[in-house]
Structure 1
Amino acid sequence: MPRKPREKSALCIHHVILRGINQQIIFEDEYDYLQFINVLKYYKETCEFKIYAYCLMNNHIHLLIEHMTVDLDLIMKKIEVKFVRWYNKKYQRSGYLFQDRYKSEPVNDMRYFRTVFRYIHQNPFHAGMEKTLGMYPWSSYNDYINMDASFVDINTVFDLFQSYDECISYLQVDSDEMCMEYYASSRLSDAEVLKIIARRTSCTSPSDFQRLDLATRNEYLQRLHYSGISIRQMSRLTGISRTAISTAVKKK
């Protein structure tokens, strides 16, 4: 079956996701993260694209990118090839690192641009990898906090807001707006889910969930569902019925 053509953005802006093959970890240590950022910086200059947001998770990558003179497919191919060559040499491996083609969605208006911008920066929080926004080191969040325009094209984004404070406040408001969701398409192991539960709730066992008041319990269930945990798996690990979880999720 031929591949479906990618949707093009009228603004040449796309939300891009790269993910490890078979959910493989991409970044083993901080040097791997730094190398990928260096590759982005290199091709940002040579291919003349703009980066408005990025987030490097352990097994997938988010980019908010505007391409101008060079086609997005060619940009992503160059980035992938250069990083994988370096990665394979470092770890003495061969073969693919990334799964299939990169995923992308077009951004056709600035309202949705703002949604994607916030979604990318809140990805570590919603995945349970940080308890406070800004603690995760491998995203462009702190470029905006520190007004550092040396790599990320922050000024274009700041122009969408009335002030610096309005932009940062927007970033910090916990949002359940969904974009091209990664976790919904992946299977999380029970061990991974238990780690997310520990990070995103105050519960460590099913009995802890049973003692929660209804409002708090529903809030926790909504958080966990947003992190990509299926209702079936959530029910099994929390002891809460699927019907109760479905009701809580629908309320959100």
Structure 2
Amino acid sequence: MPRTARIKSVSGYYHIVARGIARQVLFEEDADYLFFLKILKKYKEEEKFKLLAFCLMENHFHLLVQIDSGMDRVMNKISTTYAKYYNTKYERIGYLFQDRYKSKAIESGSYLLSAMRYIHNNPVKAGLCSVDQYRWSSWKYYDGVTGMVDADIVLNMLGGKSGFMEYSMYTGHDQDDGYFEFKDPSRLTDSRAQEKIRELLHMESGTKIQELDRVKRNKALRILKDGGLSIRQIERLTGITRGIVMKA
């Protein structure tokens, strides 16, 4: 079946989201977030597009950009460079990103502001922290830090920093709620994950897996991954390093 053609923005503004394939974690540690931001800055300068906002979450990322042409080329550069880095670092093979990034054309000032607020609020909606405490978003560039983000576009629309802060206080629904929703209803709490370990492996504790030989250990880890436990949960609850869990 042919892909649906993207809707081209007359204004050149887009809200872009890309996520890891099958909920694959994209950022395992601080160094991964920093590398992604490094290549984002590099390709922004090379391709000369404007970056108004970003937010890097564990298994997906959001960008708010103004780009007149070549969006597919830009996204291909970013995803290919990052996937090569990630797969080499974690001794992984195969696709890292879900088939195709999603994008929405933005044609009004109100929608542009709503998309910016939605992007910054991702950590809040995920229950991680307040917007000003999250390290991997563009919020700090609206709070006095200068650098790679073209914050003046939004700040001028809102009358400066105070207007931005007032606008960002809103906690209701934005226009992109639902369309770019990446909540995972199947994600288990740690307490439920511990129950799953007992149900699936008939072990009183995940740390018991450490006592198995390599073949049995890897089989047990695969059972837990297939059972819905995240790699980070398995690492926490079994004491087995993330690299071993990922390769199993």
Equivalent AA in structure 1 for residue 143 of structure 2: I
Amino acid at match of 1:168: M
- The one-letter code of the counterpart of 1:133 is V
| Kept in 1: contact 2:20–2:98 (CA 8 A) | yes
Partner of residue 10, structure 1: 10
Which of these residues, 127, 131, 134, is aligned with residue 133 of structure 1?
A: 131
Deviations 1:77-124 (A, max 9, x none): 011011111111111111111001001111111110000010000111
Q: Which residue of 2 aligns with 1:84?
A: 83
Amino acid in the other structure paired with 2:83: V
2:168 maps to which of 163, 168, 171: 171
Aligned alpha-carbon RMSD (Å): 1.9
Partner of 2:74: 75
Query: Where does residue 53 of structure 2 map in the other structure?
Result: 53
What residue in structure 2 maps to residue 160 of structure 1? 157
How far did residue 127 of structure 1 move? Answer: 1.1
CA–CA separation in structure 2 for the residues paired with 1:64 and 1:194: 36
CA distance in 2 between partners of 1:141 and 1:193 (Å): 33
Task: Tell me the amino acid that sits aligned with residue 30 of structure 2.
Answer: E
CA contact (8 A) 1:149 1:155 kept: no
Are the equivalent residues in 2 in contact too, given 1:54–1:64 (CA < 8 A)? yes
Alpha-carbon distance, 1:156 to partner: 1.0
SS in 1 for 2:121: helix
Instruction: State the distance in 2 between where 1:60 and 1:193 align.
Output: 25
Which region of structure 1 is more displaced relative to structure 2, 171-180 or 48-57?
A: 171-180
Contact 1:8–1:106 (8 Å) recurs in 2? yes
SS where residue 93 of structure 1 aligns? coil
> Is 1:191 the equivalent of 2:186?
no
Q: C-alpha separation between the residues in 2 aligned to 1:134 and 1:77?
A: 30
One-letter code of the match for 1:145?
Answer: D
Distance 1:107 1:193, change over 3 A: farther
Deviation, 1:187, is 4.0
Number of the residue aligned with 2:216: none
TM-score by length of 2: 0.73
Contact 2:17/2:180 (<8 A) preserved: no
Q: Which whole-Å CA distance do the structure 2 matches of 1:5 and 1:167 have between them? A: 34
Residues 21, 187 of structure 1: alpha-carbon distance in 2 compared, 3 angstrom cutoff: farther
Percent identity between the two aligned chains: 37
Q: CA deviation at 1:139?
A: 0.2
SS in 1 for 2:113: helix
Query: Which stretches in structure 1 are left out of the alignment for 5+ residues?
Result: 196-252
Q: How does 1:199-218 map to 2 (within 5 A)?
A: none
Query: TM-score, structure 1 length as denominator?
Result: 0.72
Amino acid corresponding to residue 142 of structure 1 in structure 2: K
How far apart are the structure 2 equivalents of 1:187 and 1:193?
16
Indicate the residue corresponding to 1:247 in structure 2: none
Q: 1: CA distance between counterparts of 2:173 and 2:103? A: 20
